[in-house]
Amino acid sequence: MDDVQANSLSVQRNVVLGLLLALAAGAWAVLVWQSADAHMDMTMASLTMGLRAPLFLAIWVTMMVAMMFPTAVPMILTFHKVQTGKRERGDAFVSTWVFVAAYILVWTLAGVAAYAGALAAEAVAVRTALSSSTAARIGGAVIILAGIYQIMPLKDLCLSKCRTPLTFIMTSWRDGAVGALRMGLLHGTYCLGCCWLLFVILFPLGIMNIAAMAVITLIVFAEKTLPWGRLAPRVTAAALVAYGAVVVAAPQVLPTFQKDGAAMPAEMHMPGSGNAPAMK
């Protein structure tokens, strides 16, 4: 009987893992497909990609699923394992996905804040007639700030919570679906606190810059899961500060740099919305 139960739990764990990785792989496929759109090269320099809020958030959530699900797997599987020891297996499966949904909700709210900040930044840039060189240098300063944050105490605190799934689960445990929701929100908040500036730098690097997304995903994975993960933030800090300094000195090396006067579509719409460029 114990063997049957162990096999059942193993199957359920594999289903959870398979779904997480399948969702991440599907999200990466969508991002690669979308980044191949001819209009994307023209809109990379736009902080909002010229998108309205719902479409921007859809892309943002897709990015989070692609980049964060692989790094969140140890935490989610640990949560599921503990749940199966405390509740019926069916309840544990449901609670695990409540935990995941709460995690996504935190990143979605971060996307709302990111969109609002991007709109504000674009408005200021237009109002002050910000030159491309100045805008790129501001982007370089943001990259330097992201590098400095890598070695700040808050980063280290949040990362310590993400690197020890069992400790987090046992010290933050709440029963039931509501408890899973609260724990997912808490873990999402720690994860956001750990990684938020790594995602902010996607704005100067290009919000649909697939190479930058891949590198950030690898950095986050290394920080959270590898034995030498605490070394990763320091290496990343040095690299970001160095690159940011280069951008400040030579703004044309920033991927989103455009010469002043270069044409850029003001807005993108869904297919069939008129003469404006359509998303693929």
Per-residue pLDDT at 88: 56
Looking up tokens 């709460």 gives 102
Tell me whether residue 31 is in a domain: yes
Domain extent at residue 185: 2-253
Label residue 137 by pLDDT band (50, 70, 90).
Answer: very high
| Secondary structure string (H, E, C) spanning the chain | CHHHHHHHHHHHHHHHHHHHHHHHHHHHHHHHHHHCCHHHHHHCCCCCCCCCHHHHHHHHHHHHHHHHHHHHHHHHHHHHHHHHHHCCHHHHHHHHHHHHHHHHHHHHHHHHHHHHHHHHHHHHHHHCCCCHHHHHHHHHHHHHHHHHHCCCHHHHHHHHHHHCHHHHHHHCCCCHHHHHHHHHHHHHHHHHHHHHHHHHCHHHHCCCCHHHHHHHHHHHHHHHHCCCCCHHHHHHHHHHHHHHHHHHHCHHHCCCCCCCCCCCCCCCECCCCCCCCECC
Burial (CB count <10 Å: 0-12, 13-18, 19+), residue 178: exposed
Per-residue pLDDT at 160: 93
Tell me whether residue 270 is in a domain: no
Alpha carbons 86 and 138: distance in angstroms, whole number: 51
Evaluate whether 221 touches 70 at the Cβ level (below 8 Å).
Answer: yes
Tell me whether residue 16 is in a domain: yes
Task: Give me the helix-helix angle, 132-149 and 176-200, nearest 10°.
Answer: 130
Tell me whether residue 266 is in a domain: no
Tell me whether residue 259 is in a domain: no
- What is the rounded average pLDDT for all residues in the chain? 86
Residue 152 pLDDT greater than 90, yes or no: yes
Tell me whether residue 75 is in a domain: yes
Label residue 143 by pLDDT band (50, 70, 90).
Answer: very high
pLDDT tens-digit series, residues 179-215: 999 999 999 999 999 999 999 999 999 988 999 999 9
Q: Count of domains in the chain?
A: 1
* Mean pLDDT on 7-32: 89
Label residue 8 by pLDDT band (50, 70, 90).
Answer: low
Q: How many other C-beta atoms lie within 10 A of the C-beta of residue 161?
A: 20
Alpha carbons 67 and 44: distance in angstroms, whole number: 19
Label residue 12 by pLDDT band (50, 70, 90).
Answer: confident
Tell me whether residue 151 is in a domain: yes
pLDDT tens-digit series, residues 47-64: 888 889 999 999 999 999
pLDDT tens-digit series, residues 202-261: 999 998 899 999 999 999 999 998 888 779 999 999 999 999 999 999 999 999 888 765
